[in-house]
Amino acid sequence: MSKIILFNPRSANSKHRIPNSILQVGASIHEKYEYVFVDGNLEKDPWKKIESYLKTNSFKYFASTVMPGQQLKQAIPFSKKVREQFPEIKIIWGGYFASNQYKSAIDSGFVDIIINGPGDKAFPELIDALETKSDYSIIENLIYKKDDAIIKTKKSDLFDQDSLPPLPYDYLNTFYPIEKYLGKTFLGNKTAAYHSSVGCPFTCSFCAVVPIYEARWKGKSAVNVFNDLMHLKSKYGIDAVEFHDNNFFVSEKRVVEFSNLIKNQNITWWGEGRIDTIDKYKDESLALMKEAGCKMIFFGAETGNDEILKQMDKGGTQTGEQIKKICCTIKEVWYHT
């Protein structure tokens, strides 16, 4: 059976984080296909590692996650090299750049197929179809070219996050020690990155999430988030978490349940949230979050000008006055001042 390379291009010169995007893809094929991780953040020469795999002639697929910005500096030249030196290899891109700039990517000549949004089901179904030389036009969340026409298949519904397979942390650890991803931050000495949900229910005009998730959001249950973090704590010693969700605080009920579960585990954390969402939280919920280790809320307070906020089409009720109000509320509830 053909093997797969899952590549995470370099995204930062320091503070390397657990590569959740390729871990998610790895989880989707873990029980069926052989695959390897290549992380450009931890390899001195990522191309050398990629080339060494491809020269074995046992790999048939090169799949890369591609964010705008720095990841393009490796994703583009390495994909070109794969196409030039190993033309039989199928090159598959996913991630925000690939989905939102799909015309540029698919017309490049070195990207065969794009996973348009979540790949939890699209990626394994695509590999199945390619392996059996079957029609993949019926698979959801794909973009590809046929007879000079760009084909976009139907977008899937967002999947129940609790039904998805667990991320293969221990398998990643056989390639790169997990400890290398657990950086020291203001939160703690071993800070993990984690995604507990996908999407966002709002339609901000400037956001790359909107065209992919189309104002939809799905989160893991608080219990499953807690269980994942307890695995990382017991096996790898994490003491802090950065929730890299697009919008961690969508559900107050889920946040409250998670806070009650985590509050005695000596784990500190932060997440990203909207001011007009958290402004609706009960003071008791905000107080519980602090007790449970929440050290920061990464708010999107783009401007205090109401007219500009309207132009941004944030899809909610946020105002400049509300920005000041939530700051005062947090100050009063968290610090009693």
Strands 59-65 and 3-8: parallel
What is the predicted pLDDT for the residue at 160? 96
Domain residue limits, the chain: 3-152, 182-335
Rounded to whole angstroms, how far apart are CA atoms 326 and 255? 17
What is the predicted pLDDT for the residue at 195? 96
What is the predicted pLDDT for the residue at 318? 78
CB 236 within 8 A of CB 190: yes
- For the chain, the first-to-last Cα distance in angstroms comes to 63
CB 113 within 8 A of CB 63: no
Gyration radius from the chain CA atoms: 21
What is the predicted pLDDT for the residue at 316? 64
| Residue 94: strand pairing partners | 65
Strands 294-299 and 268-273: parallel
Residue 53, Cβ density class (10 Å: 0-12 exposed, 13-18 middle, ≥19 buried):
middle
Helix (H) or strand (E) segment spanning residue 113: strand 113-115
CATH of domain 3-152: 3.40.50.280
CB 185 within 8 A of CB 241: no
Concatenate the DSSP letters of all residues of 264-301 into one string. Answer: TS--EEEEEE-HHHHTTS-HHHHHHHHHTTEEEEEE--
What is the predicted pLDDT for the residue at 303? 83
Tokens matching residue 79: 């994909």
What is the predicted pLDDT for the residue at 315? 66
Tokens matching residue 229: 């973090």
132-173 confidence digits (pLDDT tens): 999 999 999 999 999 999 999 999 999 999 999 999 999 999
User: Which residues in the chain show pLDDT less than 50?
Assistant: none
194-218 confidence digits (pLDDT tens): 999 999 998 888 888 888 888 899 9
Tell me which residue of 285, 291, 234 sits closest to 257, measured CA to CA.
285
Q: Which CATH class is domain 182-335?
A: alpha beta
Task: Give the contacts of 37 (CB within 8 A, at least 6 positions apart).
Answer: 6, 8, 19, 22, 26, 171, 172, 175, 176
Rounded to whole angstroms, how far apart are CA atoms 192 and 169? 12
Q: Determine the 3-state secondary structure of 23 from DSSP.
A: helix
What is the predicted pLDDT for the residue at 21? 94
Strands 149-152 and 142-146: antiparallel
What is the predicted pLDDT for the residue at 178? 96
Q: Looking up tokens 């996973």, which residue turns up?
A: 115
